[in-house]
């Protein structure tokens, strides 16, 4: 008989009853009573050994399921404790980080208030110097216009030089062309 038919050797109702018993024991001992040390259920493979030899594979599977339930629960508890400690540390770290950010923001705010006070003081002084500032602006504008006109003149000079150079090259090329034409004409037979 194949391995796939092993489960059919026993009625499903018996299998369900045993699995339910394992689950109930686990639930009563762990979830309800919340014992610190997990006690495995009384029903183990040894209790099932009175079954026939043909049911041994099924019994081993049931025991594996039972063990895995308890091992998983222990592992879950440990993991939950680790996660809780990790979350607590993260919360502490977040609080420290937020406190540091708040201090930095307060410091920046104080610096900005100082800068604002300095700007107000400069503004009040500048209001007193408005006539002088207008005169300075006028002088600066005149100076700027003079510099701009000077640059424009320099630019036009450069353009003129470039054009003059092109004209000179054109004249030279024209003369060379005329000399070449005369030479070619003189070489033609009569």
Residue 112 lies in a domain: no
What percentage of the chain carries pLDDT values higher than 90? 13
Residue 102 lies in a domain: no
Report whether 68 contacts 36 (CB < 8 A). Answer: no
One domain for residues 84 and 18: yes
Residue 103 lies in a domain: no
Report whether 65 contacts 46 (CB < 8 A). Answer: no
Query: Which domain range does residue 73 map to?
Result: 3-95
Q: How far apart are CA 185 and CA 48, in angstroms?
A: 129
One domain for residues 78 and 151: no
Q: What is the mean pLDDT of the chain?
A: 73
One domain for residues 71 and 153: no
- Element (H or E) spanning 151, and its range? helix 130-187
pLDDT in tens, 115-163: 999 988 888 877 777 777 778 888 888 888 899 899 999 999 999 999 9
User: What pLDDT is attached to residue 130?
Assistant: 76
């Amino acid at each position: 008989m194949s391995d796939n038919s092993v489960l059919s050797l026993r009625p499903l109702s018996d299998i369900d009853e045993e699995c339910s018993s394992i689950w109930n024991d686990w639930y009563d001992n762990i979830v309800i009573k919340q014992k610190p040390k997990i006690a495995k259920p009384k029903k183990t493979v040894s209790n099932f050994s009175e079954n026939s030899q043909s049911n041994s594979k099924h019994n081993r599977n049931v025991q594996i399921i039972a063990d895995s339930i308890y091992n998983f629960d222990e592992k879950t508890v440990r993991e939950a404790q680790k996660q809780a400690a990790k979350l607590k540390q993260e919360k502490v770290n977040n609080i420290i980080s937020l406190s540091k950010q708040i201090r930095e923001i307060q410091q920046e705010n104080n610096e900005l208030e100082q800068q604002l006070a300095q700007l107000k003081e400069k503004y009040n002084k500048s209001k007193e110097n408005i006539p002088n500032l207008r005169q300075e602006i006028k002088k600066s504008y005149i100076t700027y216009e003079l510099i701009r006109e000077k640059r424009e003149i320099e630019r036009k000079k450069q353009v003129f030089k470039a054009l003059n150079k092109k004209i000179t090259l054109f004249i030279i090329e024209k003369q060379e062309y005329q000399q070449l034409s005369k030479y070619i004409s003189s070489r033609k037979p009569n």
